[in-house]
Amino acid sequence: MCQLLGMNCNTPTDILFSFEGFHRRGGLTDHHADGWGIAFFEGHGVRMFNDDRPSVDSPVAELVRRYPIKSENVIAHIRKATQGTVNLANAHPFIREMWGCYWVFAHNGNLIDYAPAKGQYYRPVGDTDSEAAFCQLLETLRQEFDEQPDEDTLFERINAIATEIRAFGVFNFMLSNGEALYVHCSTQLHYIVRQAPFTNAHLVDDDISVDFSTVTTPKDRVAVIATQPLTDNEHWTPLAANQLVLFRDGAPQRMSNNPEFRLTY
């Protein structure tokens, strides 16, 4: 299975610290060595980097580790191939345009005997279950709405489509249009919200710490979501099974299993 990393912030923030630990899981501290990718939204633009080499020795990962790209929504993925060959067309994240916005998607899991009908608007290029699911998700939304619906409607529909697709297997995913980050948990995903007062954080995957109080302003708020916690001295909250969470402005704003939930940070 694969590893997912997401970040959603109320101000453009770099992901260097989290990526430092995360990229080691691609061939060094864990066995996810079949390529990797990362997408950074900057407004409605997207910067994508991917490589079919393991992230731990990828020159592209080396660039991402050194270049502090500031973004409000980031999705990263390290691949352990379960379906589809190891090639660039099968590397997550995947990207499509819908309603005049780019949508980016990455998946951790395995969908069994999953073969959605060919879409009118969206078709996979590679041969993974993940890209097929992404295309079906967008296809269903696009068939239903000619323009982007309001947030309540969109959240409810994404949750309903995720419910259908996860009947085929494990379906942890992250999805963003640059405005919000949708995170769906089948089996394992954890998140943390960092905000003032910022403290020190220490990576699980290497002996590296950062004192966030020295690199933030009091107004900053950053949510980091990962398959497994990236730090060992902070409290990460596990998502519940079959839970869809919408992150915006650096915090969860909607949770599918708790319709009354609204931001309390």
**Residues 2, 33, 46, 245: which binds a copy of itself (CB under 8 A)?**
46
Of the listed 2, 9, 135, 185, which one is catalytic? 2
| Segment lying near a copy of itself (by CB under 8 A), choices 2-10, 14-22, 25-33, 45-53 | 45-53
Angle between helix axes 151-165 and 129-144 (nearest 10 degrees) is: 140
By CB under 8 A, tell whether 79 contacts a copy of itself.
no
Identify which of residues 46 and 56 has a Cβ nearer to a copy of itself in the complex.
Answer: 46
Mark whether 101 is an active-site residue. no
User: Which positions ≥6 away from 161 have C-beta within 8 Å?
Assistant: 136, 137, 140, 141
Which of 3, 18, 50, 140 lies at the binding interface for a copy of itself (CB under 8 A)? 50
If one asks whether residue 235 binds a copy of itself (CB under 8 A), the answer comes out as no
Distance CA 39, CA 104 (A): 7
66 binds a copy of itself (CB under 8 A): yes
The answer to the question of residue 122 lying near a copy of itself (CB under 8 A) is yes
Pick the stretch among 11-19, 22-30, 124-132, 189-197 that binds a copy of itself (CB under 8 A).
124-132
The window from 12-20, 62-70, 72-80, 255-263 that contacts a copy of itself (CB under 8 A) reads: 62-70
* Smallest separation, CB 121 to a copy of itself (Å): 6
**Counting beta carbons within 10 angstroms of the beta carbon of residue 217, is it exposed (0 to 12), middle (13 to 18) or buried (19 or more)?**
exposed
Residue 49 in contact with a copy of itself, rule: CB under 8 A: yes
- Strand-by-strand arrangement of the 169-176 sheet: 94-98, 101-111, 169-176, 181-185, 243-248, 251-255
1 vs 101, beta carbon nearer a copy of itself? 101
Nearest-angstrom CA–CA distance, 254 and 248: 9
User: What is the footprint of a copy of itself within residues 171-230 (CB under 8 A)?
Assistant: none
Considering only 48, 81, 193, 204, the residue that binds a copy of itself (CB under 8 A) is 48
- 43 sits near a copy of itself (criterion: CB under 8 A): yes
The set of residues, in sequence order, having a beta carbon less than 8 Å from that of 156 and lying 6+ positions away, is: none
- Interface size with a copy of itself, residues (CB under 8 A): 34
Lay out the site mask for a copy of itself across 85-104 (x = CB under 8 A, - = otherwise): --xxxxx---xxx-xxxx--
Find the binder of a copy of itself among 125, 160, 241, 263 (CB under 8 A).
125
Interface residue list for a copy of itself (CB under 8 A): 42-52, 59-60, 63, 66-67, 87-91, 95-97, 99-102, 121-126
Catalytic annotation, residues: 2
